[in-house]
Amino acid sequence: MEIKRILVSRTDKIGDLILSIPSFFMIKKMYPNAELVAIVRKYNMDIVKNLPYIDRFVILDDYTKTELLEKIAYFKADVFIALYNDSYIAALARASKAKIKIGPISKLNSFFTYNKGVLQKRSRSVKNEGQYNLDLVAKLDKKRFSILYELNTKLVLTDDNRKVADTFFKENSIEGKCLVVNPFIGGSAKNITDEQYVSILKKVKDRMSDLNIIVTSHISDEERNEKFCKDIGKDKVFSFSNGASILNTASIIERADVYFGASTGPTHIAGALGKRIVAIYPNKKTQSPTRWGVFGNSNVEYIVPDENNPNEDYKNPYFDNFTKEMEDRVVKEILEGLK
C-alpha cells in the first residue's frame, strides 16, 4: 500500500506536543514523500508551523466538532495516528476513513477505533511520554522504523521569534550569565511555593550578585510575576509575561545559561533547546521524571522533594515537605550549571 497522506493528532498541552516532536520527525523520515498533516491546538500552532517536516496543520479550535468530523474525510488520509486518545479524537480517526488507524488502546472506544492499536498501559508510567509516542509510530512499520531510527527533539525558532528576546535583552541591558525561571505551572503536577522559589533565588543571587534572572510566565500571571520579582528584592531580576506566541517565551529560554522550573511546558521547551536544566518533579508514577521528564536531553538535574515520603498528599498542589537541605541542593545545582 502506498502511503500518500498521514494525519497525526496531538491535541493536549504544550509539554505533550514537545514530547511528540520526535514522532513527527520519524514519520517524515520513514515516509518522506507522504504529506504529513498535524492536528493540534491553537496555542501549539507556532511550534508545529516551524517544524520543516510538517507539511500542513489543522487547528482543532477553529472548528466545531461537527464541522471537523465532516471535513476530516476530505483529507483522504491513508493513515491516522492518535498520539493521545479521547472520545473526540477516536471519532475523528473513524471519520477520517483512513485504512490504517493507530492509537493507544485503553478505553472502550479505542478498541473499536484503531485497527493497529497499541496496548500501552501508560498509567504504569514505565517509559517517557516521548517514547510511548514513538512506540505508536513504530507500529506503522517496525522494520523501517528500526532501520531509520534517529532521535530528534529539536524545537525550531526563526529569526522573527528571536527578535523578541533580542529586544527584551536590549531594553533591559541584560548582559552576562542568565538564569531563566518558570515558577508557575497549570496544576498538572506538584510544585514548590512562590515563597520557596523566592528563597532559592535570593540565595543564588547572594552567591552570584551579577547574575541576570528572568522570570517567565503567561500574561494571566503577570501581576503574580511582578510581585515574585519584587519579593526577590535584588538587582538584575526581570519579569517576562507573554500573551502571544509560546515561541516568544522559547526565545527567552534559548538565551539562558541555566533554566529552572517544575514539570510544565516551558521546561520541555528548555529540554528541546538543549539547555542545562534544574527541575522540580514529583515522585508519583504518573507525574515522575520517568514518565514526564525532559526527553533526549541528559543535562537535567531532577529534584524530587517527595521521593522519601510514601504518605505525600497529592491533592495538595505543593509538596508536603521542602526542607532547607532540598533548597540548598537546588541552589547548588543552579550554581554548578552557571559555572
Q: What tens-digit pLDDT sequence spans the chain (339 residues)?
A: 899 999 999 999 999 999 999 999 999 999 999 999 999 999 999 999 999 999 999 999 999 999 999 999 999 999 999 999 999 999 999 999 999 999 999 878 898 999 999 999 898 999 999 999 999 999 999 999 999 999 999 999 999 999 999 999 999 999 999 999 999 998 779 999 999 999 999 999 999 999 999 999 999 999 999 999 999 999 999 999 999 999 999 999 999 999 999 999 999 999 999 999 999 999 999 999 999 999 999 999 999 999 999 999 999 999 999 999 999 999 999 999 999
- Could you tell me which residues are beta bridge partners of residue 259? 180, 277
* CA 60 centroid distance within chain: 18
User: How many C-beta neighbours within 10 Å does residue 109 have?
Assistant: 18
> Which domains are present in the chain?
5-148 (3.40.50.2000), 160-338 (3.40.50.2000)
Can you give the pLDDT at residue 1?
86
Name the one residue in this structure whose C-alpha cell is 513527527.
24
Sequence length of the chain is 339
Q: Look up residue 243 and give its DSSP letter.
A: -
Closest CA to 96 of 81, 116, 76: 76
- DSSP letters, 30-57, are H-TTSEEEEEE-GGGHHHHHT-TT--EE
Among candidate residues 29, 35, 26, 25, the one with its CA nearest the CA of residue 3:
35
Does residue 13 come out as left (phi exceeding 0), alpha (psi in the -120 to 50 range) or beta? beta
- Distances from the Cα of 190 to the Cαs of 52, 129, 133, 222, 296, in angstroms? 35, 18, 24, 21, 23
